[in-house]
Amino acid sequence: MERTSVVIQEADFDVAKEYQALRCCQANKGLSSPGAIAIFTGLVREFLPTDRHQTLTLEHYPGMAEKVIQQYINDACDRWQVDAIRVIHRIGILRPGDQIVFVGVSSSHRHAAFSACQFVMDKLKSEAPFWKKENQTWVIAQERDRNAAERWDNEP
């Protein structure tokens, strides 16, 4: 497995498989296994409880979306001692309960794994060019997502 990867796909992903890949990723220190793995999975929320046929459509800017996420993965690798980072983001038509996004980080220590995972997710949410549409309505960007991303810029 590559040390870092970004995949944007319509297909669903298997968290157990991603976890195993992170678990087996050899640290560059020659250790056989990381000491910690942090995983975040984002799911589609139910936005209209009365509508059984609700769909979430995800659009992205091909090329730039991968580039922006990779940049934040690189930043995370500079900032924390991590062994591997893997990001998967789905596009296309999804339904409530579906998996949308996966961020997995392996490291020697939990602090680095937790922090890098949250950092990549916070930055992805406020900077990576993806847009959600709930049925026919475009989702409005939230101030709190921007604040969550900006707080990392003020921390040592």
Looking at the Cβ atoms of 77 and 91, the one nearer to other proteins is 91
Looking at the Cβ atoms of 25 and 69, the one nearer to other proteins is 69
Structural tokens at position 20 = 């195993």
Contact 77, 2 (CB under 8 A): no
Site for other proteins in 23-82 (CB under 8 A): 42, 58-61, 63-65, 67
DSSP 74-95: HHHHHHS-EEEEEEEEE-EEE-
Q: What is the dihedral of CA 142, 88, 71, 80, to 10 degrees?
A: 90
CA 136 to chain CA centroid, Å, is: 25
Structural tokens at position 74 = 């690189």
Minimum distance, C-beta of residue 83 to other proteins, in the bound complex (Å):
23
Q: CA-to-CA distance for 102 and 82, rounded, in angstroms?
A: 17
Minimum distance, C-beta of residue 26 to other proteins, in the bound complex (Å):
29
Site string for other proteins, 97-136 (x = CB under 8 A): ---xx-------------------x--xxxxxxxxxx---
Looking at the Cβ atoms of 47 and 109, the one nearer to other proteins is 47
Tell me how many residues contact other proteins (CB under 8 A). 29
For residue 59, the cross-strand partners are 131
Q: In this chain, which stretch among 9-17, 22-30, 74-82, 139-147 interacts with other proteins, using CB under 8 A?
A: 139-147
Residue 138 in the binding site for other proteins (CB under 8 A):
yes
Residue 137: phi and psi, rounded to 5, are -110, 125
What is the contact surface with other proteins in residues (CB under 8 A)?
A: 42, 58-61, 63-65, 67, 89, 100-101, 121, 124-133, 138-142, 145
